[in-house]
Structure 1
Amino acid sequence: MSIASPCINICRMSAATGLCEGCFRSLDEIARWSRSADADKRHILELIAQRRASLGAAAPTLASTEGA
């Protein structure tokens, strides 16, 4: 089973962090996601979790992504 993209359709790059404000990935991570192996995708997801924690950002919920 393939690992789903963390994209939540809030696609704005932060000038302060260099990360997408929606999914917390870098441009490089976004660009290579579709051709990355599942192990690499899991690593990116771990990085996202660390970034969220260090920036004090809550993980998106289904309710916050509906209609996006």
Structure 2
Amino acid sequence: MPKVTTPCTGVCRIDQSSGLCIGCRRTMDEIVLWGSMSEKDRRAIMAQVRERRVP
């Protein structure tokens, strides 16, 4: 299975009401910890990000 790449889009602003980045839809904790996460944890975050993008 290929490595999970960052979902960062370069639009790094946290929406105050949701606590999510408006670009990648991750929380600050998820962004900060991304580099030290296991591939399993990254895949779990990516699944959550996909769900967060659904209006």
**TM-score of the superposed pair, with normalisation by structure 2:** 0.92
Q: Structure 2 regions of 5+ residues with no counterpart?
A: none
Q: CA RMSD for the aligned pairs?
A: 0.8
Q: How many Å apart are 1:3 and its aligned residue?
A: 1.2
Q: How many Å apart are 1:2 and its aligned residue?
A: 2.6
Regions of 4+ moved over 4 Å: none
- Partner amino acid for 1:25? R
Q: Which residue of 1 aligns with 2:50?
A: 49
What is the total number of aligned residue pairs between the two structures? 54
User: How do 1:8-19 residues align onto structure 2 when only pairs under 5 Å count?
Assistant: 8-19=9-20
Identity %: 35
- Choose 1 or 2 for highest CA Rg: 1
